[in-house]
Structure 1
Amino acid sequence: MDSAEREWERASVVQMLPIVAPRKLAKVPFVELADGRVQGVVSSGSDIARVYVSSISAQNHGLSCSTNNNRPCGGLRGSYPCKHIGALIDEAVLQYGLDRVARYLRVEVPEGGHLMNSLAATHEPAPAAVVFSRFLRHLAYLELPGSSTPIPELQWFPATGVTR
């Protein structure tokens, strides 16, 4: 191990993974790989005031989709995904890349295949409150005035401009 690698290991910052492609935040403003699920918030196509919290569990590919106030999505039928889950997967692949999302969900996607077709999906309702709460917390940071002073809650985020 050379000295540059040792120095990087002692650094107090974390290396950021760049996004794969730019995202359109109007349709899927929030997507994450967390809590053993690909989960996020998807805007309603018919009501600007409604959003859906959708998720796919990594363990058994359980599909869940409900409104932000826990009303079930009418388009989710058993193991057949609704359009919200489809949009969530598409955005997760844009943000994290197909390989990383497939590894997280523990599936193999054939060359030229689609991730959704590789899942052995089941219907498994999941609580939406935690995901929606995290989304709202992220939105709150957008309302802060511009400043160069540190924000204590964001101290763990990696510093920009740090190179290896």
Structure 2
Amino acid sequence: MTAISEQSSSNLAGVVGLYKRIIKLPEYLPFSLIQLAARVAVAHVFWQSAQSKLASWPVTLQLFASEYNLPLIDPSIAAPLATTAEITGSVLIFLGLFSRLAALMLLGVVFVIQIFVYPENWAEHLLWASLLFLVLTRGAGVLSLDYVAERTLSASAK
């Protein structure tokens, strides 16, 4: 090997090493921040949806009666049920309180919306479901009331 090819090889190894270090930087981001971001993002979606329903309740009832066409449930029951699920779920997810239960509840809402209301919006629903599945499977993280409650109950059980 010549001196030039050795230097070229050394430079390439240095660039590859730098690249490897750079792409590993996100691994140092605490997972609890990712969990918090997921919770806040999905809570915002459902909170806004509930607020728009409440802002014009007669229009909401009309939408449930004409456009949404949910089977087997009367629109006068479906509208308050969906609104209550969105408010309750979004607050619980945001706070990280009973977050797995709240994620499961909101996944049910997403499922109903996808199957019966707006099946063409599958990509958006998949995004919401992904965030909710993260909370369901991994929990709310250390920046949550679930974590505080778990620590408190664990300490008092000793």
TM-score by length of 2: 0.26
Higher fraction of strand? 1
TM-score (normalised: structure 1): 0.25
More helix by share: 2
Which of the pair has more CA radius of gyration?
2
